[in-house]
């Protein structure tokens, strides 16, 4: 697996380790829960998988020629590793209510499938070929797609860490991974893929 996507998978495992289904669903008013953040990430991976499948099926790169604004955005995100904040997620990547256990089970395999398809396109069309258009960044190479998903994922993993910190302030984590909150309820961690 590509190093960026491997780091992404490990980051997701680490950020969600020991979180219960309740923890994954808890969120401040008007903000996404950790489960919704993960679903958003899953939907971006799913969209990338489908686009790369189409590229392979049509046996050609599907990217247009980059504009100057595409080159600048790509440089900032995939070159400098910075994802500007404040942009609303595209409609097709907004959470739709996937169950926390389902998203936890499916996200790792979807990253693996994405890695496999990106690798196939890179082998078929070349490392320097822009293969597909990102809806915001424009045309990207296979390597830039991997780096984008790492930078984007890292951005959202920070949000999950903030939610974890809020959850830990709201309840007390015990040594066995359970959380006891002020109401005296105890919750168990969600099952994690690969653990």
pTM of the entire structure? 0.85
pLDDT (0 to 100) of residue 171: 59
pLDDT (tens, 9 = 90+) of the chain, 195 residues, equals 999 999 999 999 999 999 999 999 999 888 999 999 999 999 999 999 999 999 999 999 999 999 999 999 999 999 999 999 888 899 999 999 999 999 999 999 999 999 999 999 999 999 999 999 999 999 999 999 999 999 999 999 999 999 988 877 775 443 344 444 444 344 444 443 433
Query: Which residue in the block uniquely carries the two structure tokens 């994802």?
Result: 83
Q: Is the Cα dihedral 9, 15, 159, 32 positive or negative?
A: positive
> Which residues neighbour 180 within 8 Å (Cβ) at sequence distance 6 or greater?
171, 172, 174, 186
CATH number of 3-173: 1.10.150.20, 3.30.470.10, 1.20.120.450, 1.10.3720.10?
1.20.120.450
- Report residue 132: phi and psi, to 5°: -145, 155
How far apart, in whole angstroms, are the C-alpha atoms of residue 128 and residue 8?
Answer: 23
Residue 54 burial by Cβ neighbours in a 10 Å radius (0-12, 13-18, 19+): exposed
Cβ 40 vs Cβ 89: under 8 Å: yes
What three-state secondary structure class fits 58?
helix
Tokens of 49: 């998988």
Domain boundaries, the chain: 3-173
């Amino acid at each position: 697996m590509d190093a960026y996507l491997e780091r992404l998978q490990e980051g997701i495992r680490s950020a969600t380790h020991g979180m219960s289904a309740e923890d994954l669903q808890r969120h401040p008013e008007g903000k996404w829960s950790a489960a919704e953040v993960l679903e958003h990430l899953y939907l971006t991976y799913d969209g990338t998988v489908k686009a790369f499948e189409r590229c392979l099926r049509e046996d050609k790169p599907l990217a247009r020629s980059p504009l100057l604004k595409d080159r600048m955005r790509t440089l900032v995100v995939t070159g400098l590793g910075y994802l500007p904040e404040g942009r609303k997620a595209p409609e097709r990547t907004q959470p739709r209510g996937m169950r926390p256990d389902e998203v936890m089970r499916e996200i790792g395999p979807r990253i693996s499938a994405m890695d496999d398809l990106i690798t196939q396109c890179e082998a078929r069309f070349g490392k320097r070929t822009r293969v597909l258009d990102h809806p915001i960044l424009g045309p990207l190479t296979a390597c830039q797609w991997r780096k984008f998903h790492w930078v984007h994922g890292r951005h959202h993993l920070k949000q999950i860490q903030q939610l974890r910190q809020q959850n830990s302030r709201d309840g007390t984590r015990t040594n066995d991974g359970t959380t006891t909150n002020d109401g005296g309820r105890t919750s168990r961690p969600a099952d994690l893929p690969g653990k």
